Amino acid sequence: MPPTPPAPAFHFADIAWRGRTVRHEYSWVGAATSAHPTVVFLHEGLGSVSLWRDFPQQFCQAHGLRGLVFSRHGYGRSTARPLSEPLPHDFMHQQAWEVLPALLAQLGVERPWLFGHSDGASIALLHAAREPVSGVVVMAPHILVEDIGVAAIRQAREAYVHGPLRARLARHHLDVDSAFWGWNDVWLDPAFRSWDIRGEVARIAAPLLAIQGEGDEYGTLEQVEGIARLLPAAELLVLPECGHSPHRDQTRQVIDAAGRFILAHA
């Protein structure tokens, strides 16, 4: 086994967005330099830099890659969003087309590989539909809203209000209530049921690997199979005995498969 890498150093980047300044925590992981484009990790709907744990570091170290991990504003130690300011229905489009380009430009990252999970996977798809990227790896992406996902998000609400979920998340977010309710409220809004990004996904030209667990409680395999119908050149990896978080449930398989995919398209 390789030695355990040191904990990454955290930094902050302030970007101007819609008349305000939003601070993003971020960390570089993996190789100090690499001949390959930077891999940018985009977290799930309740994620953050710390909730990725050491997966980005493991992944980049295994393949000699450099990675960038950051928390969207409203999450982790980035600028919190006021509870009185609900997430808009196009929040993933805003992140993909406004915030992420500004952050990458400030940090000097060009044509990255995007590695997204859940909501972060959807943001990766939206960004790749409009911006130049080297390629995309998505885990448990959402391209449309399904009943199974809405039911799981309702269960998360119960676990947050009546169970241990709030205490677990509070270790990872400056304002845990803002992080949770922003995500939960928008996904459970009946008007959000029409959210659908298949039109945008169809415009992606970059190499794409879509990964999903057979037991994903937040979406059926239509999420990745729909990508394959829209993008016949895309590669799919469906993992048995795996839920909504392939990088936790099947860590080695994800590291190996995604690393091979990126290096094959270098």
Q: How far, in Å, are 5, 8, 147, 220 from residue 69 at the CA level? A: 15, 10, 31, 27
Determine the structural domain holding residue 258 and report its residue range: 10-264
Name the H helices within the chain.
Answer: 55-63, 91-94, 100-107, 119-130, 147-162, 165-170, 176-188, 198-201, 222-230, 246-249, 251-264
21 bridge partner residues = 16
Whether 3 maps to a domain, the answer reads: no
Domain count, the chain: 1
The per-residue pLDDT of the chain, averaged, comes to 95
Cβ neighbours, 10 Å, residue 207: 20
Mean pLDDT of the region 225-230: 98
Whether 5 maps to a domain, the answer reads: no
**CATH number of the domain enclosing 237:** 3.40.50.1820
Whether 4 maps to a domain, the answer reads: no
In whole angstroms, what is the distance from residue 138 CA to residue 135 CA? Answer: 10
* 3-class SS string, 65-89: CEEEEECCCCCCCCCCCCCCCCCCC
Confidence band, pLDDT 50/70/90 cuts, at residue 137: very high
Whether 85 maps to a domain, the answer reads: yes
Confidence band, pLDDT 50/70/90 cuts, at residue 107: very high
State the pTM of this model. 0.96
Q: What is residue 8's predicted lDDT score, i.e. its pLDDT?
A: 60
Q: Is residue 143 a contact partner of residue 198, using CB atoms and an 8 Å limit?
A: yes
For residue range 14-32, what is the model confidence (pLDDT) as tens digits?
Answer: 999 999 999 999 999 999 8
